[in-house]
């Protein structure tokens, strides 16, 4: 029996309640362990960042930090910017973003389609460079902007505490033994883990980060060489697992070929790490249930062909 389709009043009402899919083929070497991936690309903006972006906007509108007279400005590597742009348009909020200039063309174009202005920062300085540019702009004209600062804003992790983490527990319940996700702003790890740890059964929560400072896992942070997000608490994850860029990219390719999931490289890193954890559980003989996050779709990393509007009569 199929569920009745939801009726919504606005696109903002479509955020959350994303599906979870069990990985069968890429996890065939660990038959005694369930490996699940939460498909966050099913959010309207196409990524896990929809949740915190919407929460930060709504919380700021509710408490008066954001008014219609101000411009929302923040730094982003892409997905949060797309989400700010989408929900800013839906809620009547002007948006200006600072992005490294090497962010994928697809995400630049998507953000602009909602009327967002983009300011580019030095690609060699990565997300930290974009943070510095955004902070400088706000410091020069503080009355002009609302600066949510996704790296410092508790609404970031609370979106996952109230949403993503709760939904994971509702889906797998007491079977859950491990939660695995990458760290960028760290909001997903902080929020989900805090929610998961409230239930009585012990669950190991593992943070995933790139193995090297110079890496190709866009959206993830190598904390030792980066500005550590203020919302990050090193005591929340039980441990950190480091993943090579090549392993994340290769796993993203495998997910497309073997599971029909076209996801980005940070999602590939998440699944690679989840399978490492599942292998440990398999060797222990206790079995288990591992959940990780598919952060976004892989088509955001393509360089699309130039689109031309043509009419043929």
Each domain of the chain, given as residue ranges in start order, spans 11-47+163-301, 50-146
User: What pLDDT is stored for residue 307 in this prediction?
Assistant: 36
89-143 tens-digit pLDDT? 999 999 999 998 887 787 788 889 999 999 999 988 887 899 899 999 999 999 9
pLDDT class of 249 with cuts at 50, 70, 90: very high
Domains 11-47+163-301 and 50-146 share a fold: yes
**Out of 2.40.50.140, 3.40.50.1100, 3.40.50.620, 3.20.20.140, which CATH number does the structure's domain 11-47+163-301 have?**
3.40.50.1100
Nearest to 259 by CA among 244, 241, 275: 275
Asked whether residue 277 carries a pLDDT value surpassing 80, the answer given is yes
User: What pLDDT is stored for residue 311 in this prediction?
Assistant: 39
199-235 tens-digit pLDDT? 999 999 999 999 999 898 988 999 999 889 999 999 9
Asked whether residue 308 carries a pLDDT value surpassing 50, the answer given is no
Average pLDDT, the chain: 92
- The proportion of the chain whose per-residue pLDDT surpasses 90, expressed as a percent, equals 80
Asked whether residue 306 carries a pLDDT value surpassing 70, the answer given is no
User: What pLDDT is stored for residue 304 in this prediction?
Assistant: 47
Looking at the chain, list the stretches that DSSP marks H as alpha helix, in order from N- to C-terminal side. Answer: 50-63, 79-91, 105-113, 126-140, 154-159, 165-172, 187-196, 245-254, 265-284
Instruction: For residue 305, give Cα distances in angstroms to 105, 106, 302, 309.
Output: 10, 10, 9, 13
| Residues 6 or more apart in contact with residue 56 via CB below 8 angstroms | 148, 150, 153, 155, 156, 159
145-183 tens-digit pLDDT? 999 999 999 999 999 999 999 999 999 999 999 999 999
16-52 tens-digit pLDDT? 999 999 999 999 999 999 999 999 999 999 999 999 9
pLDDT class of 299 with cuts at 50, 70, 90: confident
User: What pLDDT is stored for residue 4 in this prediction?
Assistant: 63
Identify which has the larger pLDDT, 70 or 1.
Answer: 70
190-199 tens-digit pLDDT? 999 999 999 9
Asked whether residue 295 carries a pLDDT value surpassing 70, the answer given is yes
Instruction: Specify the pTM.
Output: 0.91
Instruction: For residue 253, give Cα distances in angstroms to 25, 194, 249, 268, 274.
Output: 13, 31, 6, 8, 16
Compute φ and ψ for 290, nearest 5 degrees: -110, 130
**Out of 3.90.660.10, 1.20.58.100, 3.40.50.300, 3.40.50.1100, which CATH number does the structure's domain 50-146 have?**
3.40.50.1100
User: What pLDDT is stored for residue 226 in this prediction?
Assistant: 86
Identify which has the larger pLDDT, 285 or 303.
Answer: 285
């Amino acid at each position: 029996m199929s569920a009745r389709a939801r009726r919504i009043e606005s696109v903002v009402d479509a955020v959350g309640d994303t599906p979870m899919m069990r990985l069968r083929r890429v996890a065939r070497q660990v038959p005694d362990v369930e490996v699940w991936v939460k498909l966050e690309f099913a959010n309207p903006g196409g990524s896990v960042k929809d949740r915190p972006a919407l929460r930060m906007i709504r919380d700021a509108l509710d408490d008066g930090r954001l008014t219609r007279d101000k411009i929302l400005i923040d730094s982003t590597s892409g997905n949060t910017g797309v989400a700010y742009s989408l929900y800013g348009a839906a809620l009547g909020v002007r948006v200006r973003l600072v992005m490294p200039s090497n962010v994928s063309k697809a995400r630049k174009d998507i953000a602009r389609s909602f009327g967002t202005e983009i300011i580019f920062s030095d690609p060699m300085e990565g997300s930290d460079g974009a943070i510095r540019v955004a902070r400088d702009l706000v410091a020069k004209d503080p009355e002009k902007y609302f600066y949510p600062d996704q790296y410092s804003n508790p609404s970031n992790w609370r979106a996952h505490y109230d949403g993503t983490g709760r939904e994971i527990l509702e889906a797998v319940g007491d079977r859950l033994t491990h939660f695995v996700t990458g760290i960028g702003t760290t909001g997903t790890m902080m929020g989900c883990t805090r929610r998961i740890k409230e239930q009585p059964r012990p669950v190991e929560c593992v943070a995933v980060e790139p193995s090297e400072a110079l890496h190709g896992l866009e959206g993830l942070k190598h904390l030792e060489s980066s500005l550590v997000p203020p919302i990050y608490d090193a005591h929340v994850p039980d441990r950190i697992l480091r993943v090579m860029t090549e392993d994340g990219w290769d796993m993203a390719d495998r997910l497309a070929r073997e599971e029909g999931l076209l996801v980005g490289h940070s999602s590939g890193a998440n699944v690679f790490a989840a399978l490492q954890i599942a292998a440990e559980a398999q060797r222990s003989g206790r079995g288990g249930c591992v959940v990780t996050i598919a952060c976004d779709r892989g088509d955001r990393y393509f360089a699309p062909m130039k689109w031309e509007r043509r009419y043929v009569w």
